[in-house]
A and B are shown apart, each in its own frame.
Chain A
Amino acid sequence: KAGVTQTPRYLIKTRGQQVTLSCSPISGHRSVSWYQQTPGQGLQFLFEYFSETQRNKGNFPGRFSGRQFSNSRSEMNVSTLELGDSALYLCASSLAGKITEAFFGQGTRLTVV
Chain B
Amino acid sequence: DAKTTQPPSMDCAEGRAANLPCNHSTISGNEYVYWYRQIHSQGPQYIIHGLKNNETNEMASLIITEDRKSSTLILPHATLRDTAVYYCIVRVERDSWGKLQFGAGTQVVVTP
CA distance A32 to B98 in the complex (A): 7
Chain B residues near A99: list those with CB within 8 A: 32, 49, 93
What is the size, in residues, of chain A's interface with B at 8 Å between Cβ atoms?
A: 28
Chain B residues near A90: list those with CB within 8 A: 43-44
Instruction: Report whether over half of chain A's contact residues are helix, strand or loop; otherwise say mixed.
Output: strand
Chain B residues near A8: list those with CB within 8 A: none
Chain B residues near A4: list those with CB within 8 A: 43
- Cβ-Cβ contact count across A and B, 8 Å cutoff: 67
Contact code string B32-46 (vs A, CB < 8 Å = 1, else 0): 101000100111111
- In the complex, the answer to whether A104 meets B101 with C-beta atoms within 8 Å is no
- In the complex, the answer to whether B102 meets A42 with C-beta atoms within 8 Å is yes
What is the size, in residues, of chain B's interface with A at 8 Å between Cβ atoms?
A: 22
From B43, B99, B103, A42 is in contact (CB under 8 Å) with B103
Shortest Cβ gap from A95 to chain B (Å) = 9
- In the complex, the answer to whether B99 meets A56 with C-beta atoms within 8 Å is yes
CA distance A45 to B26 in the complex (A): 21
Asked whether any CB of chain B lies closer than 8 Å to the CB of A103, the reply is yes
Contact code string B70-112 (vs A, CB < 8 Å = 1, else 0): 0000000000000000010000010011111111110000000
CA distance A105 to B34 in the complex (A): 18
Task: List 8 A-B residue pairs with CB atoms under 8 Å apart, sorted by A's residue number.
Answer: A35-B100, A35-B102, A42-B103, A48-B96, A48-B97, A48-B99, A55-B96, A104-B42
* Interface pairs A-B: 9 shortest CB-CB: A104-B43, A33-B98, A101-B46, A48-B98, A43-B102, A31-B98, A96-B97, A104-B44, A90-B43
